[in-house]
Amino acid sequence: MNERHEDHPATLCAMTPPGEVKPRKKRRIFLWVFLAIQALFIIWTITGVASHPSGPSVATQTAQVCANGGWQGLFKSHADCMKHYAVGLSDASNTGKGLAVALIVVIWVVVDFLLGVTYGVYRLARR
């Protein structure tokens, strides 16, 4: 066995003077938990923005609403209904996505604030 005498763990502990304690390496667990939470929020935001609504498409919904005189009273003609109703549905979808992203960001800020307060209390308690 080509193991050197100085590299053996028992020898390293024996070589340390009795009154001196070796400093432990900081693990930085909080940092990795914090970064994991940030990654989760980023993924949540990206998937929320990139998602497509389930159900019938905008074209199908527009055709159903504007068919059989459903356009009368609101629009000048069937073509006008098809044009403007589709834009309204698209705008409503984008508004919903914007509100969802805003809610995610608010939750993100609250969680980060609570993590910061928790870390501050933890650091103060260790002093």
pLDDT along the chain (127 residues), means of 10: 54 61 79 94 92 78 80 83 84 90 96 94 88
User: Closest Cα partner for 34 from 107, 104, 111, 110?
Assistant: 111
Q: Which residues contact 58 (CB under 8 A, 6 or more apart)?
A: 86, 89, 90, 93
Q: Please report the pLDDT score of residue 62 as a whole number.
A: 81
Q: Please report the pLDDT score of residue 23 as a whole number.
A: 79
Residue 4 per-residue DSSP state: -
Q: Please report the pLDDT score of residue 80 as a whole number.
A: 85
Q: Please report the pLDDT score of residue 71 as a whole number.
A: 79
Asked whether the beta carbons of 96 and 51 are under 8 A apart, the reply is: no
Q: Please report the pLDDT score of residue 86 as a whole number.
A: 83
Asked whether the beta carbons of 71 and 80 are under 8 A apart, the reply is: yes
* Separation of first and last alpha carbons in the chain: 46
Q: Please report the pLDDT score of residue 77 as a whole number.
A: 85
Please name every residue paired with 75 in a beta bridge, in sequence order, or none if there are none: 72
Q: Which two tokens stand for residue 44?
A: 């949540």
